[in-house]
Amino acid sequence: MFIVNGKEIENSDGILLEKYINENGFKKERIAVEINGVIIKKSDYSNYVINKGDNIIIVSFVGGG
């Protein structure tokens, strides 16, 4: 189990961050990701394996005025 934006996610430990992002409708170009208090570079999304207990915050950027 890990947490994304305050929601517990079960049975997905060990997947790549990039796969989680793609499968959950996030657009890589329009988000920022923090895991356990550390900002993750976009270039590292395809290498980061989500671990049990990770606390992930995904922020989407929205244009407008």
Distances (CA, A) of 22 to 29, 31, 54, 64, 65: 11, 12, 18, 24, 27
Segment 46-50 mean pLDDT: 97
How much is the average pLDDT of 36-60?
Answer: 96
Q: What are the boundaries of each domain within the chain?
A: 2-60
Does the pLDDT at position 58 exceed 70? Answer: yes
2-60: CATH architecture:
Roll (3.10)
Tens digit of pLDDT for each residue in 3-45? 999 999 997 778 999 999 999 999 999 999 999 999 999 999 9
